[in-house]
Amino acid sequence: MSSVVYPKWLTVCRKFLGLGLGLGFLALALLIGSVWLWKETTSRRASTPIQVPAPSGTIPTSTVVRLPAMPVRPATNPGPTVVIAPRQIPESVPAPKNEIVPATTIPPTLSPTAKPESHVKIPGPPPIPDSWVAEIPPVTNILLAQIALSGYAISAGSIDGTGGVQTETALQAFQQDHGLEPTGRLDLPTEQSLQLRHPPFVRRSPTEAELARLHPLPVTWLGKASAERLEFSTWIELVGEAAHAHPAALTRWNAGVDWNRIRPGDSVLVPASDYPPARRAALVRLSLIGHWIRVFGDQGNLLAHFPCSIGRIAEKRPVGLLHVVSVAKDPNYTFNPAVFPESPEAQSVGRKLILPPGPNNPVGVAWIGLDRPGYGIHGTPAPEQVGRTESHGCFRLANWNADYLRQMVRVGTPVQIEP
């Protein structure tokens, strides 16, 4: 058999082709190896924890430190409530003192023997920082927001540092008035707009005159009718209403204070929650479903916002435009036994009684009568209960809010009651 003889040029080509294939396989092997090595190295780096040194020194001034909300556990027996001293603002329509308000218009929801207790158990708040008495912090928690809102005459109810429906509706009122989204939350735009105008807390000491006002509250209707005034029974009531604060929160913020033995010279921390000077109202809006009252000026600007209690019987809730027909500071109260058929004491009395004025009067420190028989806006001796559905038809505010609203309205002021 004879061998095949290839041309020289073909032999050269075969050699170069073999060399090219060998180099190609080598390059492919190197590429695969490089890819595998890169993946292995990346995987090891990702699984290795990064060691960050522990922080030292002070927090940079640019860092925002958010303080927690200040929850409060109501006291086992918060006792009778508390009242703000009347503000010295001239009234265009003098309100007669000791005006007798018909009992059929404003029957109280409270038993004559005691005030209602709150059964909500909430953890107590942390201590108040010392700096809050001398410096103005940014509004970064609910407690500071509640106090800051007071500077705009927007009430979140009794200041206690806890959130809730009343705080949400108060924040919504502020947000709507300032062109913000009405979320009802203390979000970043609200924090940036809501400003404290002074340090949020002050130290307060009782005066001799304040302590002289305190008198035990009678437990019966007859006892109340025979009293000279239905005054505060404890100083924590008085200072609580003056500071718009929940007595249980005051107790937590002032651990160790014996409120029953407090004397002139003793000092306690209270919120600095004064309202701005009262301005004349052009319109009062009352929301039955929202449980709030809002006051507006001539330009439609918000002047004030208050939580409000309404009548529990829906059929007796008026809807539509009413007007103020009377304004009274420190009214007395006509107790009519016929309004309380369920009360054995009321039936045993058998006659009407006139209860004297005072913060623990069933209608509180202010009465604003409306042109609908049996309806009015007034205070209450239990401000911590405001916002709940109660009473037989009238609209209840915390004493400090009722007195502030009294200074804003006049006879003829329109009151729009909305569903």
Taking only the tens place, the pLDDT of each residue in 357-383 is 999 999 999 999 999 887 899 999 999
Domain-located, residue 94: no
Nearest Cα residue to 326 out of 286, 380, 372, 282: 372
**CB of 92 closer than 8 Å to CB of 410:** yes
Cβ atoms within 10 Å of 47's Cβ, excluding its own: 7
Domain-located, residue 53: no
The string of pLDDT tens digits covering residues 292-347 is: 999 999 999 999 999 999 876 555 678 899 999 999 999 999 988 887 787 888 88
Domain-located, residue 328: yes
| Domain at 109, CATH number | 2.40.440.10
Which domain does 372 fall in, by range?
Answer: 100-418
Domain-located, residue 397: yes
pLDDT of amino acid 14: 66
Domain-located, residue 180: yes
Domain-located, residue 391: yes
Rounded distance, CA 14 to CA 27, Å? Answer: 20
Domain-located, residue 89: no
pLDDT of amino acid 365: 97
pLDDT at 55 over 90: no
pLDDT at 112 over 60: no
Domain-located, residue 32: no
pLDDT of amino acid 102: 41
Strand ranges, E, within 102-226: 201-204
Confidence of residue 13 (pLDDT cuts 50, 70, 90): low
DSSP-derived 3-state class of residue 315:
helix
pLDDT of amino acid 373: 85
Residue with tokens 């556990």: 73
In the chain, the number of structural domains is 1
